[in-house]
Amino acid sequence: MKQLKNFVILLAALVLLTSCNFMNRLEQKAASVSNYERAALTLAKENRQLKAQIGQLKYEIQLIKSKNDYLAIKLDRKKTTGRKIASISSVAPKDDLVKFNVYKWTPAQLMSMAHIEYAKKNFEKSAQYYKTFVDNFPGHASIDDEYLFQAGLAAFESGKHQEWSMYFFNRLIVEYPISKYYRAAKLWRALSYLREGDKDKFFQTVEEFRKKYRNTDEWKIISAHYEEILQKYKR
C-alpha cells in the first residue's frame, strides 16, 4: 500500500510538472503568435504607406510627363505659327451664333445651351457656347476635366474649330493627368493631328497607346485599325 501511495504521488507530481510545462509552452506560443500579429500589422501599415507613396510618385511622374508634352506642343506651335497656345481665336462676328453681348448669357445659361446643342448634334453652335463660356468666365469652377473634354469634342465634331479642340484637349492633358478623360483626350488630340495632316504626331500617339495602354478601351478602338494605320503611315 505504501508503495502504491508513493507511486500515485509520483504520478501526480509528473502530471503536474507536465501540465506546467505544457502551460508554459502554450504561453510562449501565444506570446510568439502575438508578436507575429504585431509584426504583421506593422508590415501591413508600412505596406499601405509605401503604396500611397508609390501612388503619389506615379501621379507626380505623370504630371511631369504631361507638362513636358504640353511644353513640347507649345514650343512647336510657337515655331510654326508664332502664336501662344493659350491664345485662341474667337468666332468671327458674322458667324457668331451665341451673341453674348446681345443676350448677356449667365454662366448657367451658357453651360446649359452648350449641353443641349451638343445633345442635338448641333456641334458648331455647341462649340461656340463652350468657347464663349471660357472666354467670358475663365476662372469658373465648372471648367473641369469633363467640361474641357466635352468642349474639345464639340469643337472637333464641328469640323471648323481645330484650334479650339487642340486647346481644350491639351489643357485637359496638362491640368488633369489622372482624369478619367486623360487617355481619351490624347486619342482625340491624335485625331486632330491627323486632320491637320500631321501624320508623325498621330502615329506617335498610336505607338504610345500600343506600348503603354494595351489594356484600355481606347487601345481597343485603335487596335482594330492598327495595321491599316501602320501601312498608311509607312506610305
pLDDT along the chain (235 residues), means of 10: 57 54 65 70 73 58 50 45 52 85 93 96 96 95 96 95 95 96 94 89 90 88 78 73
pLDDT at 84: 42
pLDDT at 158: 95
- Whole-model pTM over 0.85: no
Phi, psi for 30 (deg, rounded to 5):
-60, -40
**Nearest-5° Cα angle at 125, 119 to 127:** 85
- Cell triple for 109: 445659361
Reference 182, options 200, 202, 211, 205; nearest CA is 205
Buried b vs exposed e over 100-119: b needs ≥16 C-beta within 10 Å?
beeeebeeeebbebbbebbe
CATH level 3 topology of 84-234: 1.25.40
User: What residues contact 230, with CB distance under 8 A and at least 6 apart?
Assistant: none
pLDDT at 1: 62
pLDDT at 19: 60
- Cell triple for 124: 458648331
pLDDT at 121: 96
